């Protein structure tokens, strides 16, 4: 991906910058940086049913719950989230977090996060059925 065309998407307070999309890799991988401000978290626990996701800490420390285990991911730490493992994360610290996420195969990417951002930006309480349908289309499930 040409660095000047790096796609950035905001989902609530989270910022996601795509480094390699499924289109770039012919579907083999999606790679993105996720910026998690202090006090932010993933909205709901979920599982990746169509891909594995490896998380690598770049800055700050993020608390992950992966299949009931608490895992702290700081700079240089990593965790592989296998298909079907329910996971979520939150930044409990006073410093912003930057993570690298690698999904293999690359079955989801900017399209998923763009659609999710639109649903959340509509205001009010998002319809769980709409979110669930979006997740299923991109190989995820809510827990």
**Model confidence over 7-24: pLDDT tens digits?**
899 998 999 999 999 999
pLDDT score at 1? 46
Residues with pLDDT less than 70, the chain? 1-5, 43
Assign residue 127 the CATH number of its domain: 2.60.120.10
Contacts of 27 (CB under 8 A, 6+ apart): 105, 106, 107
Q: How many domains does the chain have?
A: 1
- Which domain range does residue 118 map to? 3-142
pLDDT at 111: 93
Other C-beta atoms closer than 10 Å to the C-beta of 42 total 18
């Amino acid at each position: 991906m040409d660095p000047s065309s790096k796609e950035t998407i905001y989902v609530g307070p989270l910022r996601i910058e795509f480094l390699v999309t499924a289109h770039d890799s012919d579907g083999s991988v999606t790679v993105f940086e996720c910026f998690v401000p202090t006090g932010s978290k993933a909205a709901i626990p979920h599982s990746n049913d169509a891909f594995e996701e490896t998380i690598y800490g770049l800055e700050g420390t993020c608390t992950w719950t992966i299949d009931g285990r608490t895992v702290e991911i700081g700079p240089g730490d990593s965790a592989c989230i296998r298909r079907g493992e329910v996971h979520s994360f939150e930044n409990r610290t006073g410093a912003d977090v930057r993570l690298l996420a690698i999904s293999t195969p690359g079955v989801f990417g900017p399209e998923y996060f763009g659609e999710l951002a639109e649903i959340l930006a509509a205001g009010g309480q998002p319809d769980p059925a709409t979110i669930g349908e979006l997740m299923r289309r991109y190989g995820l499930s809510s827990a």
